[in-house]
Each structure stands twice: as structure tokens, then as C-alpha cells.
Amino acid sequence: MAAPAPAPAPAQTNTHNNGPIDHNDLEEWKSRFNDVLARPSEHVNSKSPETSQPWQNSFFGCFSPISLCAITCCVPCVTFGKTHHRLQKNKNLEGYEPVNTSCLLFWASTCVGLHWIPLALQRASLREKHNLQGSCLVDLATACCCGCCDLIQQDKEAEYREAQSVATGEGYKANEDETIVPSTPPKSHPYLLVNIGSGVSFFQVSENNQCQRISGSSFGGSALCGLLLLLTRARTYEDMLEQAEKGNNANVDKLIGDIYGMDYNRIGMKMTAVASTFCKAFSLEHRPEAEAEEQSVEDPADIKSFSDADICHSLVFAVFNNIGQLATLHSRIHGNPDIYFTGPYVQNCQLLIRTLCIAVRYYSQGEKKAHVVINQGQAGDLTL
């Protein structure tokens, strides 16, 4: 089996959804089932580490709150889908729909008496994400003993743990435990300060706030805006970020899943990891027929096969992932445990913040944290 493209970008969460059937969710569940089938004995014998913490909610506390109990008893698939959305997509349930892919999956498995399989898999995901006590055998036992009690415990525990992560500053969590630290002043020196403006500047900040520029990059905010101005109809930076939040980079980028059809577990790569940015725009099979016929049109956008939102999502992720990688490398060279991102192009956009934090955690192998300082006061000065 050939190795994937060198140094692929870290996996990212994609919030793009097409009705109740989300193809990303389908691929995720497919990958998890395939992984279990490929390593059954390893999964059966797996258990939480000694450092794991006890569950906050009891398995037998299923009557409280009564509203959750009633919904779960009547339509258990809705509770299952809600817990999955909270764990894998958004802790605040933004974008949640009661009838979603995971809900339909659980309903279908219940019809054939196999509800305990996705239920046990989701409990395992909850344990792994929040380091909770348990094992595969316990997951299976609780799912088979009383599915409703298990569903209610999982939903309450997920809500509690995700709320705790916000309170303690743990922030977003996607395919790995990315950490977003609140923008508080640094308490220790030295640290790396990354200013993202037209270009990118890297500063070493030592005691007494002495600042020394150690490196820089021309590939910053202006490069991103210039490319998106040429490729899309977006005309302001805010519009570009808004489009990026709605887009699906999987329509433009080649992912690990496009190459192997599943996670590449030998090197720890998720199927949602980007192997090649904009590869599908280059591939012949994705080029529009109108371009091949060399038809003359006034607006090039008329022959594009990719949406503005998809292009924005792909480029925003590529540029800020690259900045995060460069910042991590400089912090290693100069011995900085923490990295602070600031500048006029750093705004309160979940995709932007999440990308920087994922990149730092991924490329530092979890050793460093990204502090993202939002510059709300400068956001209005970036109209192009």
C-alpha cells in the first residue's frame, strides 16, 4: 500500500450538512465499524487508563430530568443523535436537527435488534474524549442491559463534560483534543507572539516584555483575501469568513479518505485529514465540461464546478493551518511553550480559531497550546 502525501494537514471538523443525511457522518460511522472489524480482539480487551476519572452521572439516574427520560423512552434515536452532535460537532448543539444521520442509524439498528452496537461505540467515544472510567465489556453490558438508561447517562455526561471544557478553557474538540485557551495576558516568559496581518511576523517576547522579531512570512491575510477575491464573489474579509463557515472543503481538497476509503491507522491519520489542498480542482475528472470546450463566457464563475463557500473553507483552512505549523516550528526552535496569535486578520470565526488550535496541537504532538487573541476593534477596517 502506497504511503499518503507527505505531511498531510490535520483533520478538521466539517459542519457542512445536506438535510438529515450527512455524508461525513456516514463516513465516520463506516470508519468506526471497519476499525472494530479489523481489530476485534484489541477493542474487546481495551479499557480506560488508570488516570481516568469516574462518571459524574449514574447509570441508574435515568428519571431525571423527566423531560429527557420521556423523550428517550418514546424516541430513543433522537437522544442518540443529540449526544452524537454534541460530542462530534458542537458542544452547544448549534446546527442540531432532531432527525439526523446518527438518529436514523440508531433507529435502523433498533429495528433489527442491533441498537447495542452504535450505543456501545458512542459510549466508547465519550470515554476516550473525556478520559472516563470503563472498558469495552462495560460499554456492551450497559447497552444490552438497558438502552434507555445508557442513552440518558451518555447524554447527561456529554452535556456536563462539554460544559466543563468551556469553563476550564479547554475549548473546541474535534478529531483530537484541540485546546483553545482564553485570551488572557501571558503569565510566563518567554513566549511566541504571532501577528497575522498582511503578512505574518513571529516575535520572541522575553522578560520585561522585550520583543524581538525572529522570522516572518509573506503568506498571510492579504494573500488569503487576494486569492479569494480572484476565485470567488466575496468582497470583504468578513464575507469570506462567513462563506468559509458554510463551506465543505471535502468538495475541493483531496482527503485521506479519498485515497484509502477509511482512516490510515498505521500513521494515525483520520480519513478527514487533508492530503492535498485544491487537488480536486486540479484533477481532470472534476473539471467542468464547459472548460474543455473552451467556451467564451463573461463571468468565469459560470463554468466553475465548486461553490464559493467550499473554496473559502479550503483556503482559510490551508492558510491558517500553514501559519499554525510555522508558529509551532519557531516555538520549538526558541523553546516557547505557549503561542499567542493576534493581529487584524484574527477574528471571532470558529473555523479560523479551530484551525490554528488544531494545527498547533497536531504539529507539536500536544506539547504546546495556542492562545488566540481576538481583535474585535479592528474588524471593521478590512473591507476590500
Write the CB contacts of 36 (distance below 8 Å, at least 6 apart in sequence). Answer: 43, 121
pLDDT for 131 equals 75
pLDDT for 324 equals 93
pLDDT for 163 equals 65
pLDDT for 183 equals 53
Cβ(14)–Cβ(248) under 8 Å? Answer: yes
Distance (Å, rounded) from C-alpha 87 to C-alpha 81?
Answer: 10
Grid coordinates representing 344 are: 487584524
Domain 191-252+306-381 = CATH 3.30.420.40? yes
pLDDT for 7 equals 53
Write the CB contacts of 293 (distance below 8 Å, at least 6 apart in sequence). Answer: none
pLDDT for 185 equals 61
pLDDT for 383 equals 26
User: CA 60 → CA 47, 143, 147, 189, distances in Å?
Assistant: 22, 13, 12, 49
| Angle (CA) 223 224 229, round 5° | 100
pLDDT for 318 equals 93
Grid coordinates representing 229 are: 477575491
Q: What is the 3-state secondary structure (H, E, C) of 72-87?
A: HHHCHHHHHHHHHHHH
Instruction: Write out residues in the chain with pLDDT < 70, as ranges.
Output: 1-19, 50-51, 162-187, 265-268, 283-305, 374-384
Write the CB contacts of 115 (distance below 8 Å, at least 6 apart in sequence). Answer: 76, 106, 109, 143, 147
| pTM (2 d.p.) | 0.51
Tens of pLDDT, residue by residue over 215-259, are 999 999 999 999 999 999 999 988 898 899 888 888 898 888 888
- 217: which strand partners? 200
Domain ranges of the chain: 23-167, 191-252+306-381
Tens of pLDDT, residue by residue over 21-37, are 777 788 888 887 888 88
pLDDT for 326 equals 95
